[in-house]
Amino acid sequence: MANAPEQTLQWMGGPQGYLSLIDQTLLPTQLQNIDCHDVETVWEGIKLLRVRGAPAIGIAAAYGVCVGIQTLDFTNTSKGQLRQRIEEICSYLATSRPTAVNLFWALGRMGDKAAALLETEITVAQVAEMLLQEAKDIHNEDRAMCHAIGRHGAVLLADGMGVITHCNAGGLATSEYGTALSLFFTAQDQGKDVTIYVDETRPLLQGARLTAWELLRRNINTVLICDNMAAQVLREGKAQAVVTGADRIAANGDAANKIGTYGLAILAKHHGIPFYIAAPSNTFDLSLDSGDEIPIEVRSADEITNGFGRQTGPDGVETYNPAFDVTPAELIAAIVTEKGIISPVNKDNCLKVLQS
Ligand code: MRU
């Protein structure tokens, strides 16, 4: 019997409540929550990857707006003061991480909702209540999108198949079933037996710490490999597809995802194996023509030199630590969205499916 889905994010209470999230930096050894009673804790949680994965970052930011406005006394605040505070909160949360567009999408949606509500006759306390409802809607919609992605994508997986995945695009990165992992969970629900080769995903080991943990909890055949073993796994014919999530997809289908994804797509191409991306429509950034315009987060040197408990690089060594890379559309066999499958991946097909 598989475990119940993990509650990556939970809102506790009413408009004066708080956001409780699984502290993903502690997994796989400790399943522990951190409670965010102020927007600074939400910002720090996103920055330090306590909550990570594009959709989960967006949901956390939406709830971050709800905790952020609690610095105001709703019974004694003007609509102008609330508007100003929401603008401050959104600008602040937008500085937490640059690549996943879901963060900016969710903040934009909360900002638009606030602007519309503030034009009406309702009180500031009622605006706060309705903003909390908007954040909950974002959360619930994500849950539904993940299940739809799984339903569309599971047809790509046959019984007995081996699949490589990279980073974590599971329930921990979303509201529940995940994006890439939703294909595996849905295939399992359909009675298919799949084996997932999980790249450990240097430098922060989201594959080893999070994806392997999630898959084992659901009793899926899981084989953990180091990132540099993927080529050999493919050469030995152990995997027949690669599936990952994405953090931002440009209008032409170029997709940013965890560093190492691009290399994996090249390996898949060389071995004649399909490389699939699974992502909800709010991971698309149609304002960008191509992946060249996607901002790539560069993180600190110590993630490479002092990763998990011991120094693994000499003092003073220069490092370069981009957290994401961009896979060109031509290497992607299909993008699985909640609206359907985009294939071949090009601008016309992206627009056709997204606007359906
Ligand atoms: O740095 P992270 O852990 O936030 O990176 C996450 C990824 O790259 C995921 O693959 C992506 O956000 C998709 S999550 C459904």
For residue 165 and ligand 1, the question of a CB distance below 6 A is answered with no
Please give the number of the atom of ligand 1 that sits closest to the Cα of 257: 8
**Count of domains forming the chain:** 2
Answering whether pTM is above 0.95, one says yes
Note down the domain range covering 45: 9-147
Task: Say yes or no: 133 and 170 in one domain.
Answer: no
Residue 76 confidence (pLDDT) above 70:
yes
Q: Do the domain assignments include residue 278?
A: yes
Whether the bond between 314 and the residue before it is cis, its omega within 30 degrees of 0, is no
pLDDT reading at 1 higher than 70: no
With 90 as the cut, is the pLDDT of residue 5 above it?
no
- For residues 245 and 136, membership in a common domain is answered with no
Q: Are residues 176 and 297 in the same domain?
A: yes
What CATH number should be reported for the domain holding residue 46? 1.20.120.420
Are 291 and 179 found together in one domain? yes
- Are 138 and 196 members of one domain? no
Asked if the model's pLDDT at residue 3 lies above 90, the reply is no
Q: Is residue 336 over pLDDT 90? A: yes
Written as six digits, the tokens of 198 are 């999980």
**Model pLDDT for residues 146-165, shown as the tens digit of each residue:** 999 999 999 999 999 999 99
Domain C-terminal end among 87, 114, 147? 147
Pair type for strands 18-22 and 33-36: antiparallel
- Evaluate: CB of 203 within 6 angstroms of ligand 1: no
Specify whether 158 is located in the same domain as 288: yes
Distances (CA, A) of 340 to 153, 178, 181: 8, 16, 16
**Claim to verify: residue 218 and residue 312 sit in the same structural domain:** yes
Q: Is residue 21 part of a domain?
A: yes
In a domain, 4, yes or no: no
**Residue 317 is assigned to a structural domain of this protein:** yes
Q: What is the distance in A from the centroid of ligand 1 to the CA of 323?
A: 10
Q: Are residues 221 and 336 in the same domain?
A: yes
Residues 193 and 117 in one domain: no
In a domain, 1, yes or no: no
Rounded to the nearest angstrom, the distance between the alpha carbon of 35 and the centre of ligand 1 is 22
Please compute the mean of the pLDDT values over residues 198-208 and round it to a whole number. 98
Q: Among residues 247, 254, 285, 325, which one is catalytic?
A: 247
235: domain CATH number is 3.40.50.10470
Choose the final residue of a domain: 147, 177, 200: 147
Residue 176: the pLDDT is: 85
For residue 258 and ligand 1, the question of a CB distance below 6 A is answered with yes
Q: Is 52 in the pocket of ligand 1 (CB under 6 A)?
A: yes
49 has pLDDT over 80: yes
Q: Is 50 in the pocket of ligand 1 (CB under 6 A)?
A: no
Residues 323 and 198 in one domain: yes
Residue where a domain stops, chosen among 113, 147, 181: 147
The verdict on the CB of residue 174 being under 6 Å from ligand 1 is yes
Q: Is residue 241's pLDDT more than 80?
A: yes
What pLDDT, on a 0 to 100 scale, did the predictor assign at position 321?
Answer: 98
Same domain, 113 and 213: no
Query: Is 88 among the domain residues?
Result: yes
Res. 322 pLDDT band, cuts 50 70 90: very high
Average pLDDT, the chain: 97
Greatest alpha-carbon pair distance for the chain in Å reads: 68
Whether 247 is a known active-site residue: answer yes
d(CA 225, CA 174): 23
Asked if the bond preceding 203 is cis, omega within 30° of 0, the reply is: yes
Distance 245 CA to ligand 1 centre (A): 7
CA–centroid distance, 28 to ligand 1, in Å, is 17
Q: Is residue 2 part of a domain?
A: no
d(CA 143, CA 171): 9
Asked if residue 245 and residue 128 are part of one domain, the reply reads no
Which protein residue has the closest C-alpha to ligand 1 atom 8?
258
Evaluate whether residue 94 is within a structural domain. yes
